[in-house]
Structure 1
Amino acid sequence: MTKTALVTGAGRRFGFEVAKALIEDGYKVFAHYNSSKDGVDELSQLGAEPIQANFARQHDVKEMVTQIKKSGSKLDLLINNASCFFDNDSVDNDSEALETVFQVHNIAPYLLITGLQQQLSNSDNGLIINITDIYTDKPSTNYIAYCAAKAGLANMTQAFAKALAPDVRVNAIQPGPILFLPEHDNEHKMQVLDETPLQVEGGLEPMIDTVRFLRDNPFLTGESIKVDGGRALNL
């Protein structure tokens, strides 16, 4: 029977690449996006089913849950990857940005997990993977709200791992410098790599490998794996 996965934030970067990898692995993929649709169009051509939802609005998340439930009784994999990244100035001067940080990283994953719990339980190997951050353990003072929200998602990972066992496993991945943003200049890149013991930009493949590792090892739950080239050691 075909396995089914939901990837949030599938329009770009890791979300896009892991969705594509899962399609190659034979999954039917629900590819969620908010506004980054270019990658989702490509995923659609590969067979993914696109789902638009603004995670800053609870109504959108609940509508998405309803739509996925209507499509089938089983969900094998949920990857909570959707994210937004605001610094202190952004959230201090825009209350909507502050709310969005916690809506996207905490409330939306909570609603997806609780709303799709039965579908995940119906799988023989139901798995949730939450994408957190290496700053979960050692927060940056420049992104306080973001780090707090990611820490909340990390805590949620452990709580749901206990609550949903033995039917559903729940784990997290903490990425480090896997893929620099276009706005990162060479000075920033060199500084980050200098702080990273392996001194390389990891790329997305190590993240995808970790998803497959968590999927294929049925004796892991409540775990959080750093994929960061060792950078967390120097934070």
Structure 2
Amino acid sequence: MSDKPVALITGAGRRFGFELAKSLLAEGYHVIAHYNTSREGVAELEQQGATGVQADLTDTVAIRQMIATIRDVTDRIDIMVNNASCFFDNATVDSDPACLAAVFQVHVQAPYLLIKGLRELLQQASNPLVVNITDIYTDSPTTSHIAYCAAKAGLANLTKSFAKSLAPTIRVNAIQPGPILFLPEHDSEHRQKVLSETPLKVEGGLKPMIQAVRFLRDNTFITGEFLKVDGGRALQI
């Protein structure tokens, strides 16, 4: 086993998970990069030294196999980032029971199983940290994505519960992103509307999210906390 610090990132094949993985690799971490279908991004990370682990987080058997695989490749985890997500609106979950189930499986069940299943590896690190990626809509849900917001609220509750139960050994915090990086399907009208409702009036990009992870890592007196990275948007929703 290596002496490098180890980071486990779920949903590491694209967007924030991918950029965070690259950043931590550059800092000297051994990154365990989870993915479900975004193989291309993880293949790029593997070329930089990451270990790719595939698992469908809607499948409890796959999650338990993922935990076993991680135990085979490392004896510690310094940072766990529960980032994987599925973003379904009301119409989608109403028409497809599998999508409704997936929202809660990916955002609540999978983080729960991963934290519980990898607790012993976290305890082997000198400053172990779990970061759960929730959402500003956890506190003020949007009516267009009811199930998604409820699932993210469940993840927020898990954050508080694990922060209590795993202290003082393991710290557990959450980041609540706002308009960090628009999705490809967001048209210019939607983007302009969102930015007009955001006090700082800009799309944040992924760098502030990476900085937030570093802040939570480096400040060892913070647990059970929720850090908004949203340009002030939560003030106006």
Deviation at 1:72, TM superposition (A): 2.4
- TM-score for both structures, normalised by structure 1: 0.99
Q: Over residues 80-121 of structure 1, what are the superposed CA-to-partner deviations in whole Å (9 max), with x where a residue is unaligned? A: 000000000111111000000000000000000000001001
1:201 aligns with 2:203: yes
Tell me how far apart the structure 2 counterparts of residues 28 and 3 of structure 1 sit (CA, whole Å). 6
Tell me how far apart the structure 2 counterparts of residues 82 and 60 of structure 1 sit (CA, whole Å). 15
**Residue 173 of structure 1 corresponds to which residue in structure 2?**
175
Q: Over residues 43-74 of structure 1, what are the superposed CA-to-partner deviations in whole Å (9 max), with x where a residue is unaligned? A: 01100000000001011111000111122221
Tell me how far apart the structure 2 counterparts of residues 65 and 20 of structure 1 sit (CA, whole Å). 22
**Residue 165 of structure 2 corresponds to which residue in structure 1?**
163
Which of the residues 39, 42, 47 maps onto 2:41? 39
Tell me how far apart the structure 2 counterparts of residues 135 and 38 of structure 1 sit (CA, whole Å). 30
Count of residues in Structure 1 that have an aligned counterpart in Structure 2: 235
1:82 aligns with 2:84: yes
1:10 aligns with 2:12: yes
Q: Over residues 150-209 of structure 1, what are the superposed CA-to-partner deviations in whole Å (9 max), with x where a residue is unaligned? A: 000001001000000011000000000000111111100000000000000000000000
Deviation at 1:224, TM superposition (A): 0.4
Q: Over residues 113-157 of structure 1, what are the superposed CA-to-partner deviations in whole Å (9 max), with x where a residue is unaligned? A: 000001001110010000000000000100000000000000100
**Residue 28 of structure 2 corresponds to which residue in structure 1?**
26
Matches within 5 A, 1:141-152: 141-152=143-154
Deviation at 1:39, TM superposition (A): 1.1
SS of match in other structure, 1:155: helix
Tell me how far apart the structure 2 counterparts of residues 72 and 188 of structure 1 sit (CA, whole Å). 43
Tell me how far apart the structure 1 counterparts of residues 104 and 133 of structure 2 sit (CA, whole Å). 14
Tell me how far apart the structure 1 counterparts of residues 208 and 74 of structure 2 sit (CA, whole Å). 31
**Residue 224 of structure 1 corresponds to which residue in structure 2?**
226
Tell me how far apart the structure 1 counterparts of residues 51 and 195 of structure 2 sit (CA, whole Å). 37
Tell me how far apart the structure 2 counterparts of residues 180 and 65 of structure 1 sit (CA, whole Å). 32
Tell me how far apart the structure 1 counterparts of residues 41 and 27 of structure 2 sit (CA, whole Å). 18
- TM-score for both structures, normalised by structure 2: 0.98
Tell me how far apart the structure 1 counterparts of residues 181 and 4 of structure 2 sit (CA, whole Å). 31
Tell me how far apart the structure 1 counterparts of residues 30 and 75 of structure 2 sit (CA, whole Å). 13
**Residue 135 of structure 1 corresponds to which residue in structure 2?**
137
**Residue 191 of structure 2 corresponds to which residue in structure 1?**
189
Which of the residues 46, 51, 54 maps onto 1:52? 54
**Residue 212 of structure 1 corresponds to which residue in structure 2?**
214
CA RMSD of superposed structures (Å): 0.5
Mean Cα displacement is larger for which, 223-232 or 64-73?
Answer: 64-73
SS of match in other structure, 2:191: helix
Tell me how far apart the structure 2 counterparts of residues 183 and 93 of structure 1 sit (CA, whole Å). 20
SS of match in other structure, 1:11: coil
SS of match in other structure, 2:8: strand
Tell me how far apart the structure 1 counterparts of residues 107 and 146 of structure 2 sit (CA, whole Å). 13
Which of the residues 68, 73, 80 maps onto 1:71? 73
**Residue 111 of structure 2 corresponds to which residue in structure 1?**
109
